[in-house]
Amino acid sequence: MAPVLRALAEEPHAIGVSCCTGQHDELLTPVLSLFGIHPDYQLKVMSANQQLSALTCVLLTQLEKVLIREKPDRVLVQGDTTTAMVASLAACYLKIPVSHIEAGLRSHNPLEPFPEEINRRLVDDIADTFFAPTPVELNDLLREGKDPERIFVTGNTSIDALRLVLEMPFRVQDTALEGVPFGVKRILLATVHRRENHGLPLRKICMAIRLIAHRYRHEAHIVIPVHPNPNVRKCVHSMLGGISNITLTPPLGYQELITVAKACHFAFTDSGGLQEELTWLGKPALVLRNVTDRREAIDAGAATLVGAELESIVPAAIQLMEDAALYQGMAQPRQLFGDGTAAKQIVDILQHNGPWLPATEGSTGVVTTAATLPFAA
């Protein structure tokens, strides 16, 4: 959402009001700082061991208060977090139009990713305007009966953010990456956090990474930003801690993460957004999921779906380490998810398509946006 807020700030006829709910606060705060975003509202809704039902209740109550106070003409939400879903619902209850950025992503399995697949379907059932990353999402929205005149293929704002970050200066000294042997060994990046991978699947993933680390202990070094969820942190540290060619870091800031992604030979990941960024950077991805909502990367040969089984992860990693022709075929920079201008396109569309962007009664006629800022890794 950061690029959209920046684009709104440059639009003289728009007023953007940003609301940060605090879901994934420890991950989001560095991103806000990096992009110079100062949310108008910081709700801090999270609590220890919070269940999805409790989070949904408190989000609905708190976001409704913000919307009643601001009376926006339109609410923008991005992605598939519980924050995005509840913000859409709160707007619906107050009869405020909703636009969905990153609309139409589908794995076609309601349990993978969970609850994200359900969240984004609910958002798209509420929204009246859809900003789809690619024609794949456009086609899924059309199959679900959405109005084709209200679907716009813009690319994803994740690529906008990536381009901005690549232009910023960054040094690894005095960061969590200091000591990583960039330029000396092949760097492998591993990120894992999905709920469906908690438990036995995560243990299998860690075992696979441990086997790869041992096999290539002289040639490769693996960097793993450890997600703060206790279900992830405890398992990763117990199975992969203390291995000389594995660096376990706290959650990385966006610049740090992109620095590793840009330098890596390939990545193991169950993240959604990182699948997009890796394709732009020309880095192969082994996707640690049974299904993916970024089918474009699989279809283009930029990523391989390997799930959470040793029998599929380890051979795929060995191939990328040892088969130069296979690697070169995958390691091609591709603009599968946009050209980095999604945010400007979105704001232009909102400003210049008045017939379906009604001003609310008593409004000034400007586009006032209450933007939720869920973290999208």
How many Å apart are CA 364 and CA 115, to the nearest integer? 37
Q: Can you name the residues that pair with 18 across neighbouring β-strands?
A: 371
How many Å apart are CA 339 and CA 280, to the nearest integer? 9
Q: What letters, b where the CB count within 10 A reaches 16 and e where it falls short, cover 189-199?
A: bbbbbbbbbbe
Catalytic one among 116, 137, 160, 293?
A: 116
174 is catalytic: no
Catalytic one among 74, 100, 227, 294?
A: 227
195 is catalytic: yes
Catalytic one among 70, 102, 112, 117?
A: 102
**Terminal-residue alpha carbon distance, the chain:** 12
32 Cβ neighbours under 8 A, 6+ residues apart: 2, 20, 38, 39, 373
Contact (Cβ atoms closer than 8 angstroms) between residue 73 and residue 354: no
Catalytic one among 150, 195, 215, 237?
A: 195
How many Å apart are CA 268 and CA 317, to the nearest integer? 9
3-state secondary structure of 113: coil
Triad 44, 50, 51: Cα angle to 5°:
125
How many Å apart are CA 147 and CA 288, to the nearest integer? 34
How many Å apart are CA 83 and CA 21, to the nearest integer? 7
116 is catalytic: yes
How many Å apart are CA 241 and CA 95, to the nearest integer? 51
Which of 105, 129, 131, 100 has its CA nearest to residue 116? 105
Catalytic one among 80, 124, 160, 293?
A: 80
Residue with token string 């890596």: 264
102 is catalytic: yes
The backbone torsions φ and ψ at residue 268, rounded to the nearest 5 degrees and listed phi first, read -95, 130
Contact (Cβ atoms closer than 8 angstroms) between residue 53 and residue 66: no
Q: Catalytic residue positions?
A: 80, 102, 116, 193, 195, 227
